[in-house]
Structure 1
């Protein structure tokens, strides 16, 4: 399948939303627990399995999760910063993307590029969701540059042309990014999670009913 990404940037690996098979190099989920604090000191009433809103399910990442254990996570972040045994990812929007010279380009698919501070994300196999260790708004310690389709499965801009019997449509693409997260026991670990990368114009062959 041929596709055109409207946002091009360095990535680890591209994924389709429906991908069920992940490369073996990403199959080992857990890298290591973060040392330096007592994982057993966990409030028993806390639940570390997130409840994901429908709109988050649709884009595959979430920055507003009901009952996010913010106080607990904030304490963990403070401890992690003290022992300095991990590095939180902080993407930025490149200056040339925001302030560069205007060019006569046409985007084949409409999308929104933004810095995203996730509170939950899908696991590498796309089946489970986990809390991401983070703070909100300006205090966020993990931010990621994402590019999300305004609408999926709509036709590409009409300037795009395809061979007879094919049509172009907009499709969300995904990549893997490493994040610090909470497992279901409340312990921290580092792993790869799926985030939106770009909105692509792809083509498919039309099927016709021959009588």
Structure 2
């Protein structure tokens, strides 16, 4: 995939990526102050004209009846927030941040994320933990492929580390 722009004024967009502090911890962000709307809109149009179905769209699955997890007597050991993100910036597995190709009004890439409300917080007191162990909530990640914009405003497929679940783990003291 080699779609991009040659205008030097536009080429600087990737160099001005400003990541809000609340996004840095989880490595993915929906609201970016200097997102290159015009560049991304043109790139999306070019991709859609070429009939390339390169975009990912996760949805939340809410099971019904007896298949529902978390119903009845089930209790989560860690507080977390599960939602669908339409990212506009993300940190690649190499540590570099890039703009993610997405339209705010009509997202093309959506990803299911589960984020610990407080990473490294104690697990629920409802869980019995032997005195020789310490239990805490830990953010777990998976790798997802996203379509992004590199520093030269070229489309790239990049592996992104995405928060996948919040897990209660135990450590022997």
Shorter-chain TM-score above 0.5: yes
Aligned equivalents of 1:99 and 1:183: distance in 2?
46
In structure 2, the partner of 1:160 is 127
Aligned equivalents of 1:198 and 1:96: distance in 2?
18
In structure 2, the partner of 1:199 is 166
In structure 1, the partner of 2:87 is 118
Shift of 1:165: 2.0
Q: Tell whether 2:61 aligns with 1:94.
A: yes
TM-score scaled by structure 1?
A: 0.74
3-state SS of 1:81 partner: helix
Shift of 1:40: 4.1
Q: How many pairs are equivalent?
A: 169
Q: Tell whether 2:14 aligns with 1:48.
A: yes
3-state SS of 1:185 partner: coil
Residue from 130, 135, 149 that aligns with 2:98: 130
Shift of 1:42: 3.4
Residue from 24, 49, 54 that aligns with 1:82: 49
Q: Flag the 1:80–1:89 CA change in 2: closer, same or farther, 3 A.
A: same
In structure 2, the partner of 1:173 is 140
Deviation string for 1:37-82 (max 9, x for gaps)?
4x24335254213211110012221001121001110110000001
3-state SS of 1:155 partner: coil
In structure 1, the partner of 2:149 is 182
Q: Flag the 1:154–1:180 CA change in 2: closer, same or farther, 3 A.
A: same
The structure whose RCO (Cα within 8 Å, separation 6+) is larger is: 1
TM-score scaled by structure 2?
A: 0.89
Aligned equivalents of 2:5 and 2:145: distance in 1?
25
Shift of 1:95: 3.3
What is the root-mean-square deviation of aligned Cα atoms in Å? 2.0
- Asked if structure 2 preserves the Cα contact closer than 8 Å seen for 1:73 and 1:134, the reply is yes
Aligned equivalents of 2:135 and 2:64: distance in 1?
26
Q: Tell whether 2:69 aligns with 1:104.
A: no
- Asked if structure 2 preserves the Cα contact closer than 8 Å seen for 1:42 and 1:186, the reply is no
